[in-house]
Amino acid sequence: MWLFLGITFSLGMLIPGNLSFRLQYNGDQVLHIVPETLQQVQHLQHLCNTLMLDLWKPLLPEDISAGADLNIRVPAPLVQEVKNSLDQHMISYKVLIPDVQDLVDQSMPRETNSHRQVPEGYVYTHYHPMEEIYQWMIQIEKNNSELVTRHYLGKTIENRTIYYLQISQSPNKPKKIIWMDCGIHAREWISPAFCQWFVKEILQNYKSDPKISRFLENWHIYVLPVFNIDGYIYSWEKDRLWRKNRAPYKNGTCHGTDLNRNFNSSWGSVGVSYNCSSEIFCGSGPESEPETRALVHFIKQRKRDIVCYLTMHSYGQYILTPYGSTTEPPSNSEELIHVAEKAAAALMGKYGTRYEVGSTSLILYSNSGSSRDWAHMIGIPFSYTFELRDKGAYGFVLPPEQIQPTCEETMLAVTAIMDYIDQKYFPDGAVMLTSGSLSLSLCLGVVLAWSVS
């Protein structure tokens, strides 16, 4: 019954260029709770299960624990009932977001598409719908043809094309690879915003920054700005808080798989749901989704060359290492933590933002089927998940004024990881010779020696 009470539609909220109606969250509140006792934990679990409240952190009622943060979105018609229940059980709470719709409105562009100049004058401090991101990718390639090429990765469940960008000097030369993807969860808009910012910073600064110039000489950098394209579009056009892809299940009565629980890394073992209406539904099987299969196929073909896998998410301010399904650390755990700590220190140096570093299962919650764990399990040595700003004051509806500081500090963290890896693989700063370039060098050496003699 709460679904009918909590979901309202506004006839006045037409989407620019689209006749669909956008879901409203007027009066919905996000509450922050830190349960103190087992009895409080059990009552909160009961509330979440019976009222089907939207858990933001953690994602499952069974992961609620004493002394740990709990953030829940409560639909407007249930706010007073939930607060009364918390008061009766002497559970303290704080209102993090008094009206979710206010923040949703702030994140949406005020201009219609016809007035937004895209991609000329592209504004990196705004969130952009998928149509504009597609245009941006085309223009980025056109304007930087010496460094950037756009490539086909695959198709989504709704038959949209997934593209990634390759950035490097000598793009056809065999090199090691650094991979970054964004937007695996539709509602985490700060993630695609960062991928675009990252590309902008690389292209603007590679001529003046010796470090970035060295990265492009030594590496191919692959960037996938939006992985979950169908879900991202749905979050713009219908439901700002949509998380999953748009795969239909049960004859279309429910939709969507959590793509970050769909990889074949202890798939379905922990921190998932088999209910297709759940936010963390893991799919009908490992790699059941075309988006997942496209990425898996691509990575497997290049896994010998991919040294670093980065996947950008929100929120919580974490740099997470494998694994999420077990507390047993990977063989290079100490190095992974060391590098992540260097990244967190670099990030904090900008605005003082603190990120927690560690294994997902130890510092956040257990989950299985993640792309981070899968990438490490198939042999990619450095694999990290970034959970970007913030700690919960805005959560999944981070306002646009947070884009620039978030991206600036995250850029420092990512380049710290890249710098460590670059120095590890190229300790003398030299570009690794391929067999072809080595043969050419030997030939030149023979010619020079002959001419001198």
- For this structure, is 237 an active site residue? no
Q: Which of 387, 401, 408, 409 is catalytic?
A: 387
Q: Which amino acid is at 439?
A: S
What residues are annotated to the active site? 387
